[in-house]
Homo-oligomer: A and B are copies of this chain.
C-alpha cells in the first residue's frame, strides 16, 4: 500500500467500529488511491494501530471483500482486487443517497456548522465528481 492509511475511530459514534473502518477505507478504493495489487495492512497490525479487536478489522475487510474490493485469500493478506464490473445499481440507490445526504447535512446544521461551510464542502465534491 502506498498511501498512508489514516482512520479515525469515533467511540461515541453509533456506527459500529468495523463499519467506521470500512467506510474510511472505501473512499481510497473508489478514488484509486489504493489500486489493484496493493496490500492493506495485516489485520492484526491494523487492529493494534487502532487499538481494536482484530475481529473488528477482519469484519471491515470482509465487508469490503463482499463488495468486490478485496481479495482475502490466505497467506496473502488483504489485497486490492480489480473490480470486474460496476455493480448493477439498485433502483433505490439514488433515493437512499439523497435521504442520507439530507440527514447528514441536517445533523451538521443542528450541530451548529454554518450553511456556508457545509455548502463549501459540498461544492468541492461536486467539482471533483462532475467538473463542467
A41 interface residue per 8 A CB criterion: no
Whether A107 pairs with B26 at a CB distance below 8 angstroms is yes
A2 interface residue per 8 A CB criterion: no
Q: Which residues on B sit within 8 Å (CB–CB) of A48?
A: none
Closest residue to A86 on the B side, CB-wise? B112
A72 interface residue per 8 A CB criterion: no
Whether B103 pairs with A27 at a CB distance below 8 angstroms is yes
Whether B113 pairs with A101 at a CB distance below 8 angstroms is no
Whether A94 pairs with B122 at a CB distance below 8 angstroms is no
Overall SS of chain A's interface: helix
Whether B126 pairs with A112 at a CB distance below 8 angstroms is no
- How far, in whole Å, are A86 and B96 apart by their CA atoms in the complex? 28
- With A93-B108, A119-B129 already in contact, 13 other A-B pairs whose C-beta atoms are closer than 8 Å: A14-B16, A14-B19, A15-B15, A26-B107, A86-B112, A87-B111, A87-B112, A88-B112, A89-B113, A90-B112, A97-B121, A115-B129, A122-B123
List the 9 shortest-distance A-B pairs measured between CB atoms, nearest first. Answer: A119-B130, A27-B106, A89-B112, A115-B129, A30-B106, A23-B103, A119-B129, A97-B108, A14-B19
